[in-house]
Amino acid sequence: MLTIKRVPTLVSNYQEDVLEGNVMGCGRKCLGKCCMPVSVLPLYAFKNDDNEPIENDIQTLPEEECQMSFLNNLLLGLWEERMSQGLFRYDVTTCETKVIPGRCGFIAQLNEGRHLKKRPTEFCIDKVLQPFDENKFNFTKVGQEEVLFRFEPSTDYKPQYFSGMRVNGGISPSIVAINVSPIEYGHVLLIPRVLDCLPQRIDRDSFAIALHFAREVADPFFRVGYNSLGAFATINHLHFQAYYLSVPFPVEKAPIQKILARMGLGGAGVIVSKLLNYPVRGFAFEGGNGSTARDLSDAVVNSCISLQNKNIPFNILIAQCGKKIFLLPQGLEIGYCWEKVADEIIMNVGKGYNEEICYAEKQALGVVDQELLDTQVNPAVWEISGHIVLKRTKDYNDASEEYAWKLLSEVSLSEERFEEVKGYISEAAGLQAEEDKNINPEKEIPDSPGPQVASHMPPDCLVLQ
């Protein structure tokens, strides 16, 4: 069971309160254009060197060499400070967490508060690319008390921290803020260029910020996630999520087989593998020897842009301090008529023809097993990666590997569709087929190594097996 030191928590995040006093801007101290240009916020300036080779994994270093990074310490300290101020909608420290017995080691959490307090989705589910709508909830309406710090590139390639720095009126700052409906310890949002009001879509600069965030925190138990529209993003304002979990995600341990690669001089390049013995078909991107963060980022971004343009929803998990990135597509191909697809799915339900639309669309059509619907679990990036958030005590007590496998299998592409998507990724990222012939998927394959070093989280935050 997950236990954290208890603190009083109020069911409030101040988003609806008008702050009193003589303040500049609109008077709410929000993240909008009315208040940000006259605001003073903490600033963490990260080392901005995309051409630096990806170092050896932190998980391979001796424990005594894995010192807690300044950003890691800063984030945890500020997050706990907001917790003590009662800024979360519920007390996540009361949530129980367990590892489900079985080979995969799926992780179940009982979180009744998130179901009751989480913001509902406010857009259609059948389009990955949708324009930003200022009339719907977006992060410019969040109060500055939820902000931990700005996260922006350093001008001299050295990381620096300023406890208070006026926001430059000529730029749109990237913000790290608490998630007021947290899943786990240290759950935060990364909002790139908040004032630009970017819709939820991957672009080169924003993804680079997310990758730098994972690298700068430098804790293998801190992962960064992304949900596209159609893959259970609930807010159409560009953002990533991140939190700490003191055990490996099941997807991190899943066996993999190399299928694509792009090699440069001296063997540097990017390797793409497919997941094996896992309920969701997906891709794992890693840098080759001597490759840079930009090499890895470009391959993932080009792949995501291709999927977005083809209306294929997807989830991303940035793991192992930014050295391994999982791309987990779902799929409805562009050009499909929504009404036609609905008719065909309803007509062919039970015949195996309903595998090629995403889970959210299956829910809308009423073709998902009622037992799965009753659990009210939406398989977004954390669930697909193996951390399943349950809303009812009964479901938590009954959670099994069979249930988790059944739920996640509903999200997965068919084998045929997966091969199509692999072709899109290969073309978009300039990759060539390079399958590892030494692996036979029909035989027992050892798990991939998850993070092995000790977590920097407090001892009483660990998930007990």
Cα separation, 23 vs 28, in Å, equals: 8
Cα separation, 261 vs 270, in Å, equals: 6
CA distance to 233, 382, 400, 456, per residue, from 108 (Å)? 21, 11, 9, 22
Under DSSP, the state recorded for 292 is B
Cα separation, 331 vs 337, in Å, equals: 14
Q: The tokens of 431 are what?
A: 């990759």
Positions annotated as catalytic residues are: 239
Q: Is the dihedral of CA 463, 11, 73, 211 positive or negative?
A: positive
- The DSSP bridge pattern shows strands 256-263 and 432-433 to be antiparallel
User: CA geometry: angle at 116 spanning 79 and 8, to 5°?
Assistant: 40
Cα separation, 465 vs 450, in Å, equals: 16
Cα separation, 318 vs 222, in Å, equals: 9
Name the nearest CA neighbour of 105 among 391, 415, 443, 448. Answer: 448
For residues 238 and 199, the answer to whether their CB atoms sit within 8 Å is: yes
Q: The tokens of 16 are what?
A: 């609806």
For residues 266 and 433, the answer to whether their CB atoms sit within 8 Å is: no
Q: Is the dihedral of CA 168, 171, 174, 177 positive or negative?
A: positive
**Which amino acid is it at 141?**
K
Q: Name 389's bridge partners.
A: 109
Q: Name 387's bridge partners.
A: 107
CA distance to 15, 239, 264, 299, 409, per residue, from 188 (Å)? 16, 10, 36, 26, 28
Q: What is the separation of C-alpha 81 from the centre of its chain, rounded to a whole number of angstroms?
A: 23
Number of Cβ atoms within 10 Å of the Cβ of 25: 17
Give the E-state strand segments of 331-405 in sequence order: 387-390
Name the nearest CA neighbour of 220 among 399, 72, 430, 368. Answer: 72
For residues 139 and 351, the answer to whether their CB atoms sit within 8 Å is: no
For residues 314 and 329, the answer to whether their CB atoms sit within 8 Å is: yes
Helical (H) or strand (E) element with 217: helix 204-217
